[in-house]
Amino acid sequence: MTSVQGTDVDIPTEDGTADAYLTHPADSEPRPAVLFYMDAFGLRPQLRTMADRLAEAGYTVLVPNVFYRHGRAPVFDLPEFIDTGARPEIFESIVPVMQALTPEASMRDADAYLRWLADCPVAAGGPVALTGYCMGARLSLLTAGTYPERVAAAAGFHGGRLATDSPDSPHLVAEHITAELYFGHADQDPSLPVEQIERLETALTEAGVRHHCEVYPGAGHGFTQADSASYHREGDERHWAALLDLLKRTF
């Protein structure tokens, strides 16, 4: 197993400074870069562990705190094991912060993250790959469509609100995407009902985007997050296989 080196970094943006976690193989040779978009619970030990696993597979991985406007990570006071069923009040502080991150602001930030990776000595040159979880899947899709020349592949897992009726719905960027996409949907996810799954599939197909979308049976929203009650081991293992396969094809 490849040993990795992880460190905290700061990324200048148009709106301030985003704190982030950077991890890469310990030999510090330039490796293909992966921009890792967090879920709504934020940058925390679970996401660092996931990023380290990608680094062990041979990638340089950047996990920005996309909520940096509200403070450095951890932005929220979370228990070690997150169970929103037992503690629904957790979302009372998270939802307003999520809603404050507009598509316009998040894409300004994406430009900063991608520029930072382009200048990073342990990141190989050329387009990067994206992976995102929960709200991060939405950011992954938006980034692939906003900066197509800088994104070679994009994945999203248990994403919500990917294809709504809103005029700024992420699926509307499909016509601009040149990357290969993969989405692993939860089949028990009220934030992505069947009609949105179908709308996303139609948009990607009609735009000629290379893509593969799958619904994971038995998996609920958040199925990749081992520090939460939503964790679904089978779905998580399937996610890792799909993600690493996409990265292998890309790089």
pLDDT tens for each residue of 15-72 = 999 999 999 999 999 999 999 999 999 999 999 999 999 999 999 999 999 999 999 9
Query: pTM for the whole thing?
Result: 0.98
Tens-place pLDDT, residues 127-171: 999 999 999 999 999 999 999 999 999 999 999 999 999 999 999
Catalytic residue among 24, 120, 134, 171: 134
Mean pLDDT computed over 2-13: 97
HSE (CB half, 13 Å, CA atoms) of 25?
A: 15
Taking 80 as the threshold, does the pLDDT of residue 1 lie above it?
A: no
Mean pLDDT computed over 223-236: 97
pLDDT, averaged across the chain: 97
pLDDT of residue 2: 84
Q: In the chain, count of helices (H) and strands (E)?
A: 6, 8
Partners of 129 in beta bridges: 34, 153
Contacts of 51 (CB under 8 A, 6+ apart): 6, 21, 23, 36, 61, 63
| Percent of the chain residues past pLDDT 90, beyond the cut | 96
The C-alpha atoms of residue 216 and residue 140 are separated, in whole angstroms, by 19
User: 189 an active-site residue?
Assistant: yes
Mean pLDDT computed over 166-186: 97
Nearest one of 111, 129, 117 to 57, comparing CA atoms: 129
Q: For residue 202, what are its two tokens? A: 């139609």
- pLDDT-derived band at 231 (thresholds 50, 70, 90) equals very high
pLDDT of residue 86: 80
Catalytic residue among 189, 211, 232, 236: 189
Q: For residue 244, what are its two tokens? A: 């690493």
Catalytic residue among 185, 211, 221, 239: 221
Taking 80 as the threshold, does the pLDDT of residue 183 lie above it?
A: yes
User: 134 an active-site residue?
Assistant: yes
Say which CATH superfamily domain 4-250 falls into: Alpha/Beta hydrolase fold, catalytic domain (3.40.50.1820)
Q: E-assigned strands of 65-176?
A: 128-133, 151-157
pLDDT of residue 84: 86
How does strand 211-220 pair with strand 60-64? Answer: unpaired
Mean pLDDT computed over 185-198: 95
